[in-house]
């Protein structure tokens, strides 16, 4: 066979295949179809968990996880109010997601290997980088973790919190006595009653809990933390289209802060000549349509809840917490958004 015609034939076949692939529509997301038929995004969050999720005095849910959920509703349904918030606990959160009771799980849930490899779930993206800390009764006079040998610790069963604590104790020759309770409200009540010497969870949650007490000085937040944990959204495996939407909606809020786009100027910035801004706001490109959304998906999310920095100022900063690892990458933090293109 003459090699040149053969190569030409092969090249034509490859081009035809590539054209066919390029012409294929994005895979339909069954979760997105269910959400649109239902008319709301169902998110699982922990109850009484500031700054992530907490009903206010009127029963309206607020917090960083709630804002992330509302951004999804704005992106997919065009209305940030179209959310259904379901309160979950450490024991109920994964069955709720696996069983389809919720579309996305927040709930200060840490990204770990086995939650993806063994539970049929996938981590869709971080909205907070935290670490596990320890709150103690000030009357104990404890200043460091290693002074807690023999202490009783309130902790949820089977959680990353419990496992990390046990690993740290084993490595450091400290003996903790776990008091295992699933209900977060009951954990707090048990600690306040004095039945536990120590309350452990992510540092942010402990700070919020301490600040809400009538006498915060009665409790000492120890300076050490024993882990670095990305917290954020989990979804069920098997729906790559929904994974794209959840992941890139969160990243769009970070990208907006990087680019100086916020809830107040998003509409006007559509006239920008910056190609990154134009793609984010849907003026150019097909980012939204590639996920089964329209071109203004990110604009609506930003207008609804603000960029990531605005979310932080509204939901986290009032607690007096430093932004730390949650600063943007060019400010010394871990938050960054890959190119939206």
Q: Among residues 177, 212, 227, which one ends one of the domains?
A: 227
Say which CATH number the domain at 136 has: 3.40.190.10
Tens of pLDDT, residues 34-59? 999 999 999 999 988 888 999 999 99
Residue 261 lies in a domain: yes
Is residue 182 located within the same domain as residue 306? no
Is residue 103 located within the same domain as residue 173? no
Residue 80 lies in a domain: yes
Is residue 92 located within the same domain as residue 139? no
pLDDT computed for residue 307 by the predictor: 98
Residue 68 lies in a domain: yes
Q: Is the dihedral of CA 285, 279, 125, 105 positive or negative?
A: negative
Helix (H) or strand (E) holding 335: none
pLDDT computed for residue 161 by the predictor: 85
pLDDT computed for residue 27 by the predictor: 62
Question: Distance between CA atoms of 283 and 293, rounded to whole angstroms?
Answer: 14
Q: Are 225 and 131 in contact (CB under 8 A)?
A: yes
Is residue 295 located within the same domain as residue 319? yes
Residue 239 lies in a domain: yes
Question: Distance between CA atoms of 280 and 119, rounded to whole angstroms?
Answer: 33
Is residue 114 located within the same domain as residue 140? no
Is residue 164 located within the same domain as residue 275? no
Tens of pLDDT, residues 141-164? 999 999 999 999 998 887 788 889
pLDDT computed for residue 39 by the predictor: 98
Residue 106 lies in a domain: yes
Ranges in the chain, pLDDT < 50: 1-25
Total count of domains within the chain: 2
Residue 83, classified by CB atoms within 10 Å of its CB into exposed (0-12), middle (13-18) or buried (19+), is: buried
Is residue 260 located within the same domain as residue 183? no
Residue 155 lies in a domain: yes
Taking residue 323's Cβ as centre, other Cβ atoms within 10 Å add up to 16
Is residue 193 located within the same domain as residue 270? no
pTM over 0.75: yes
pLDDT computed for residue 280 by the predictor: 98
Beta strands 121-130; 132-137: pairing state = unpaired
pLDDT computed for residue 64 by the predictor: 96
Q: Among residues 179, 200, 227, which one ends one of the domains?
A: 227
pLDDT computed for residue 1 by the predictor: 44
Is residue 34 located within the same domain as residue 117? yes
Residue pointed to by tokens 């065009």: 78
């Amino acid at each position: 066979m003459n090699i040149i015609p053969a190569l030409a034939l092969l090249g034509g076949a490859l081009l035809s295949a590539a054209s066919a692939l390029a012409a294929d529509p994005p895979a339909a997301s069954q979760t997105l179809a269910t959400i649109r038929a239902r008319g709301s995004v169902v998110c699982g969050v922990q109850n009484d968990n500031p700054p992530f999720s907490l009903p206010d005095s009127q029963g309206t849910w607020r917090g960083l996880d709630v804002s992330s959920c509302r951004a999804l509703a704005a992106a997919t349904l065009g209305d940030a109010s179209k959310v259904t918030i379901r309160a979950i606990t450490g024991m109920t959160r994964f069955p709720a997601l696996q069983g389809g009771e919720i579309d996305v799980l927040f709930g200060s849930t840490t990204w770990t290997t086995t939650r993806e490899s063994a539970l049929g779930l996938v981590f869709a993206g971080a909205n907070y980088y935290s670490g596990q800390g320890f709150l103690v009764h000030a009357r104990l006079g404890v200043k460091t973790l290693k002074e807690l040998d023999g202490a009783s610790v309130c902790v949820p069963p089977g959680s990353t919190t419990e496992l990390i604590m046990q690993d740290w104790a084993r490595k450091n020759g400290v003996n903790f006595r776990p008091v295992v309770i699933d209900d977060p409200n009951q954990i707090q009540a048990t600690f306040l009653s004095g039945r536990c010497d120590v309350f452990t969870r992510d540092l942010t949650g402990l700070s919020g809990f301490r600040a809400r007490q009538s006498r915060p000085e009665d409790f000492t937040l120890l300076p050490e933390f024993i882990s670095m944990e990305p917290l954020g959204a989990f979804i069920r495996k098997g729906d790559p289209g929904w994974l794209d939407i959840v992941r890139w909606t969160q990243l769009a809020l970070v990208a907006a802060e990087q680019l100086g786009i916020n809830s107040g100027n998003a509409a006007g910035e559509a006239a920008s000549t910056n190609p990154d801004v134009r793609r984010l706001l849907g003026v150019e490109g097909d980012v939204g349509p590639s996920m089964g959304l329209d071109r203004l998906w990110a604009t609506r999310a930003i207008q609804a809840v603000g960029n990531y920095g605005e979310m932080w100022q509204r939901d986290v900063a009032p607690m007096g917490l430093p932004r730390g690892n949650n600063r943007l990458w060019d400010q010394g933090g871990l938050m960054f958004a890959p190119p939206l293109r």
